[in-house]
Amino acid sequence: MTSAEQEQFFFSGFYCYANIIGAVIFAIADGIATLGILIVIRLLQVKTWREPKAIQLLCCVLIWLCLIGQTILLALTIFGQIRQVEGIPTPINFIIINNIKDALCTVMILAGDLVLCWRAWVLLPHDKSWRFVLAIMMICNIGLNIADLISDEIAVVKSTSTPVLDSVAIATSLAVNMTATSLIGWKAWWKHFPASGCILCSNQVLTLGPITEQ
């Protein structure tokens, strides 16, 4: 066996083990997503059916299906790599599988961002400026992620890379997440703050009442 063949077997085995670990991680994520779907369905049974809950359920199901697809594709990749190590030819096209996995990953990211943006949108019915900001950010996020996906597929064919667009797409998705999460937290804080203030004022009145009467 030549050194080139040994190196090929080494990398095939390494990627095979890495994909097995990835398949286990995706299987765990499938279980977590399934639990989330069951929780949402349970909440829908005790609450009225409204758009936020329906969209949340739709996005959870979409993420769950993408995770299942990722797990199946990883299993196919592992099967093909094992056959290659054994010297058996395989009809599996790894480039197509990787492109599909990237597309599913992009769909999962956009679905998660959409859930957060929609939740923040619903909690801010009168803040049109923030709604406009969320809508613009989500549209840019979708466009950049789709452009990044297409550029990655072109880069694979031309054996190049697009690190700048990858970084911009990741940064945009992170910005959308942080903005929507901050707005949700801010709305929850101000919803709780008046109640806390009323309780504090009531305690002060009860405390100062007897002193005033004296």
**Segment holding 91, helix H or strand E:** none
Q: Among 106, 104, 18, which Cα is nearest to 65's?
A: 104
What is the token pair recorded at 138? Answer: 């989500």
* 3-state SS record for 13-75: HHHHHHHHHHHHHHHHHHHHHHHHHHHHHHHHHHCCCCHHHHHHHHHHHHHHHHHHHHHHHHH
Q: Identify how many contiguous H helices and E strands the chain contains and give both numbers.
A: 5, 0
Chain segment 63-72, per-residue pLDDT in tens: 888 888 888 8
**CA distances, 157 to each of 51, 74, 136 (Å):** 42, 21, 32
* 3-state SS record for 71-94: HHHHHHHHHHHHHHHCCCCCCCCH
Angle, alpha carbons 160-81-158 (nearest 5°):
15
Distance from C-alpha of 30 to C-alpha of 42, rounded to nearest angstrom:
18
Task: Categorize the per-residue pLDDT at 93 as very low, low, confident or very high, splitting at 50, 70 and 90.
Answer: confident
Chain-wide mean pLDDT for the chain?
A: 76
Chain segment 151-190, per-residue pLDDT in tens: 877 776 666 666 778 888 889 999 998 998 898 888 878 7
Unique residue bearing structure tokens 């097995």: 20
pTM exceeds 0.75 = no
Unique residue bearing structure tokens 């095939």: 12
Q: Among 78, 115, 111, 116, which Cα is nearest to 94's?
A: 78
Average pLDDT over residues 114-133: 85
